[in-house]
Structure 1
Amino acid sequence: MKSILKLASFIGLVLTIIPPILFFKSVISLDSSHLYMTIGMFIWFGSAPFWINKKTDDQPDES
C-alpha cells in the first residue's frame, strides 16, 4: 500500500512540475497547464501525508 501511495505522490509531483515547462516551450496551452497542475496538486496532497514522516519497523524510537 505504501508503495502505491509513493507512486501516486510521484505522479502528482510530475504533474505539478512538467506542465509549466511544457507551457514555456509552447507545447501546451495555459489552460491545459493549469488543469494538469491542479490535478497534480490534488494527487500530491491526497497521497503524500499518508507515507511521509511515518516510522517504519526498522527505525528506532527517538525518545
Structure 2
Amino acid sequence: MNILLKIVSFFGLGLTVVPSILVFWQSLSMEDHKFYMIFGMILWFATSPFWMKEQEL
C-alpha cells in the first residue's frame, strides 16, 4: 500500500512540474495548465501525508 501511495503522490508532483515546462515551450494552453496543476496538487496533498509521516522510535 505504501508503494502505491508513493507512486500516486509522485505522479501528482509530476503534474505540478511538467505542465509549467510545457507552457514555457508553448505546447500547452494556460487553461489546460491550470487544470493539470490543480489535479496534481490535489493528488500530492491527498496522498503524501500518509507515507511521509514521521515514525516513532
Relative to the length of structure 2, the TM-score reads 0.93
Moved over 4 A (4+): none
**Aligned twin of 1:22:** 22
SS at match of 2:26: coil
Relative to the length of structure 1, the TM-score reads 0.84
Question: What letter corresponds to residue 38 of structure 2 in structure 1?
Answer: T
My pick for the range that moved more, 17-26 or 45-54, is 45-54
Unaligned runs of 5+ in 1: none
What is the rounded CA distance, in whole Å, between the counterparts of 1:54 and 1:27 in structure 2?
39
Q: Larger radius of gyration, structure 1 or 2?
A: 1
Instruction: Give identity over the alignment, percent.
Output: 40
**Aligned twin of 2:50:** 50
Q: How many residues align?
A: 57
- Supply the RMSD in Å over aligned alpha carbons: 1.2
Instruction: Identify which of structures 1 and 2 has the higher relative contact order when contacts are C-alpha pairs closer than 8 Å and 6+ apart.
Output: 2
**Aligned twin of 1:4:** 4
Unaligned runs of 5+ in 2: none
Question: What letter corresponds to residue 22 of structure 2 in structure 1?
Answer: L
Bigger share in helix: 2
What is the rounded CA distance, in whole Å, between the counterparts of 1:20 and 1:52 in structure 2?
25
